[in-house]
Chains A and B, each alone.
Chain A
Amino acid sequence: MHERLSFYVKRESALHQLNPLTKLTLVFGLILPAFLVPFYWTPHLLLLLVVFPLAFLGKVQGEYFTAVTKLILPAAGFLFVMQALFIPGGETVLAKLWFLTLTQESLMYAFANAVRIFVMVSSFTLFMLTTHPSELMSDLTQRGLPGQFAYVIIATLQIIPQMQAKASTIIAAQRSRGLDTESSFARRVQALVPLVGPLVFGSLVEVEERAIAIEARGFTSRRPKTSLREIYDRPLDKGLRWLLILIMLASLVSRIWFS
């Protein structure tokens, strides 16, 4: 119940051992070329030759491909259908339905765009699967991110599941008292107040107690703090980060150069 909200899977792999910041750079090093490089097949090649092998390298292929079939493929597929049908323009007409025309150009455009979104979501999913949120936050704090930001992110990841549990309790409780959450539109709007009220006020009451508690533990103190986790930053990480930054710059330049 007090489980933290995260995708993280604990494994021993090359991807797990990388420094969190390197992996974050890798995410953007995949997304920027996919969106910026003018060559048509870039996102497709990135997906097949980089993203999929990375899933195996990180030993999270099982979890990753489950996420692909459940989450990424439906979203990208829906986007593909919408865009293929609705983006106007193009000359080679393939089919006509009602007021919609399917052209070869819009089909090609929609295909590339869906794969781009696929690459974007996939690289974040891989990042989440192989990086523990606390690791990322301690690493960023050691690099100078104010501790308050780390607190906000880690605390949120803990609070969301608690609040979801609270919300389902409240919904069940109000339903058992006869609250109508399923019939007409007006009824469902009315049901909003008895659901939102207890949830929001209940969680706001805790705010003050928590503020006093963390204040007592030196939250606003400016002295350097020690960390429970030790995070490694090997020369390999530094090299990789520079390489990725170069790739990002190159894709930006190619975009400006060829357009």
Chain B
Amino acid sequence: MKFFESLKKDFNTMTWVLIPVAIAINVVMGQIVVVLRLPVYLDSIGTMLVAALCGPWAGALTGTLSNIIWGLAIDPNAFPWWPVAFFIGLVTGICANAGLFKNLWKVIITGFLVALTAAIVSTPIAVYLYGGITASGSSFITAYLLQTGRGVIEAVFSTNFLVEPIDKISTALLAFAIIQGLSLRFVARFPRPQNIEIQAGAGRTQLWIALGVVVVLILIAVFVLVRLLTPGG
């Protein structure tokens, strides 16, 4: 029963009130990005905020409801993707509980892990519901990979793996910046303020570590890309 106890603690009134605001942030951010013509979605900032402040299950609920409401009120195409949003919230929350939301380079790792999960979860949806080609722009990469003779699942997953990290890492960084801007008194009213206590440390060292992490991630992406572009690989 320990699980239900902690669940009850995570869902206090502040959590219930934060969730609608977070969903609205998701939706409106998705639209601001369109106004600014940026090549990312950033539509899970609110989900990540809730996940970091109120735990994984609150994050998962925010993500799911976000997609459901997006589907109900704005674009019914958003419906089938709710499991992706669910896992984005869940994984962010788990990472935050593990202390991965406390400084710059840890947040980048959180973003990367979330991106990996999102890529894995969205692959079967894209394959079984849409036959691999969805209505989004990144499907051109998938189409190219399909033409070079790769399997549908492999092509879709590789595309997601290349596209997701950029989006999810910038989302995590923005959510982190927002949390840092909140007052301690405000944060303390949420169920898990200890998740986001900023770790003391030399700002410059952390910046270097963050750069290092980014370089390693770029190397991994380049490696995957090269392997994909070699025919028959």
Contact = CB atoms under 8 A, between A and B. Distances in A.
Contact of B28 (A85, A167, A215): A167
Contact of A219 (B13, B29, B71, B129): B13
Interface string B104-143: 0000000000000000000000000111111100010011
B69 to A, nearest CB: 5
Interface in B18-70: 18-21, 23-25, 27-29, 31-32, 35-38, 45, 65, 68-69
Contacts of A159: 20-21, 23-24
B107 to A, nearest CB: 16
Contact of A82 (B29, B36, B133): B133
A189 interface: yes
B interface, how many residues as a size bin? Answer: 35 or more
Question: Interface extent on A, as a size class?
Answer: 35 or more
B186 interface: yes
Interface string A135-174: 0000000000000100111011101101110010001000
Contacts of B79: 120, 124
Interface string A175-199: 0000001000000110111011101
A75 B135 contact: yes
A214 interface: yes
A196 B40 CA distance: 15
Contacts of B208: none
A65 interface: no
A220 interface: yes
A75 B77 contact: yes
Interface string B78-119: 011000000000000000000000000000000000000000
Contacts of B134: 79
Contact of B143 (A85, A125, A133, A160): A85
B66 to A, nearest CB: 8
A188 B14 contact: no
B73 A100 contact: no
A188 B133 contact: no
Contact of A181 (B24, B36, B73, B139): B36
Nearest to A72: B76
A152 B16 contact: yes
Contacts of A133: 72
Contacts, number: 157
B178 interface: yes
A204 to B, nearest CB: 7
B201 interface: no
B202 interface: no
B139 to A, nearest CB: 6
B80 to A, nearest CB: 8
B189 interface: yes
Contact of B135 (A79, A125, A200): A79
13 contacts: A5-B74, A82-B139, A83-B131, A86-B139, A87-B131, A113-B131, A117-B77, A160-B69, A164-B27, A188-B37, A195-B32, A201-B178, A207-B18
Pairs A-B, 3 closest by C-beta atoms: A86-B143, A155-B20, A156-B20
Interface of A: 5-7, 35, 71-72, 75, 78-79, 82-83, 85-88, 99-100, 109-110, 113, 117, 120-121, 124-125, 128, 133, 148, 151-153, 155-157, 159-160, 162-164, 167, 171, 181, 188-189, 191-193, 195-197, 199-201, 203-204, 206-208, 210-211, 214-215, 219-220
